Amino acid sequence: MNQIIDPFNRHITYLRVSVTDHCNYRCHYCRDEEHQTHTKKSQVLTFEEIAKIVRLFAELGVTKVRLTGGEPLLRKDILDLTKMLGEIPGLNDIPLSTNAHLLPGLASKLKNNGINRANISIDSLDPVRFKEITRDGDLERVIKGIDAAIAVGISPIKLNMVVMKGINDDEIESMTEFAIDRGLDLRFIETMPIGLAGIEAVDRHYSERDILCRIRASYGDQLLPIKSNQTDGPAKVFKIQGTDTSIGTISAVSNSFCSSCNRVRLTAQGELILCLGQKDSVSLRDALRSGMSDSKMKQLILDAITKKPEKHFFDSVIDNISTSQMVEMGG
């Protein structure tokens, strides 16, 4: 039975776990051009610590844990962690978010060690443009990673495209066709003002309304709204009838989905983040390393949830998140 209920009667069933704040790509909406990650190994949660914290959340009713980063596949021996999480009672969903650069060599092993589905970031199908957005990313390798995940049976696979006005908004239709051709789901994401990079990206904001207008122009009568499950993310989702593809929009800025928020985030350094638009956090790493008992750790989590805000203010207040980096918060 779920015990994590915030002050606004939202049941928290979904934990996003960042296993590293390092990434082999440097997407310009995710972190500042000059940003460097200097996290020391001692500051990062060990796999055993992650598994223990996740177990406590599972005992409190969390059923879904997503592994994120940075780029989670950069974490050495990541398969050991996926296997450990797969053995935790109560967890029935352990998806992965990745840029797919390392998937060609890891897809099969991930599938055999607890990863049941994946979200893959891909913001352009043009190699030159992709390289510019990611600051030297390799589109061909990413597509090979996507195809490797398909081949080993990781399913469903969702493609995530951050839509930016004047940069890649002309690829909405082609990305949809790419997803349909491979039988994949697709999510179009608005830019979010997290960190200086994200704040600067607001100038390139492309709204959910404009995205859906384009999609309806191409697939109008084929779009069938899909009702979300309790542990699903915040996307507004439609099935494209006659295909195996669903498309959705994630609109944190133009159409706040806070009323249905069901998640919290654990950073690689063990900070429990209650909302991307809020400074408040609690160090579960420090509590764990102090020798705190399981029962007190659970109470610490429940007490932290009482500080989860009703909503963010991305559309009006950005000063409180200007010093953050999305790459360090787990997306």
In a domain, 2, yes or no: no
In a domain, 209, yes or no: yes
For position 264, what pLDDT does the model report?
95
For position 139, what pLDDT does the model report?
98
Long-range residue pairs from 123-131, CB within 8 A, at least 24 positions apart, any chain: 123/27, 123/161, 123/162, 123/164, 123/168, 124/168, 124/171, 125/171, 125/174, 125/175, 125/178, 126/171, 129/167, 129/168
In a domain, 211, yes or no: yes
CA 31/CA 25 separation, integer angstroms: 10
In a domain, 3, yes or no: no
In a domain, 76, yes or no: yes
- CATH code, domain with 204: 3.20.20.70
- E strand spans, 180-242: 185-189, 223-226, 236-240
In a domain, 138, yes or no: yes
For position 197, what pLDDT does the model report?
54
The alpha-carbon radius of gyration of the chain (Å, integer) is 19
How many independent structural domains does the chain possess?
Answer: 1
In a domain, 253, yes or no: yes
**pTM summary value:** 0.90
In a domain, 41, yes or no: yes
- Residues of the chain with pLDDT below 50 are 316, 318-320, 322
Domain residues for 269? 14-329
Range 198-231 burial, b when 16+ CB lie within 10 A, else e: bbebbebbbbbebbbebbeeebeeebeeeebeee
Residue range 28-53, pLDDT digits in tens: 888 777 667 778 899 999 999 999 99
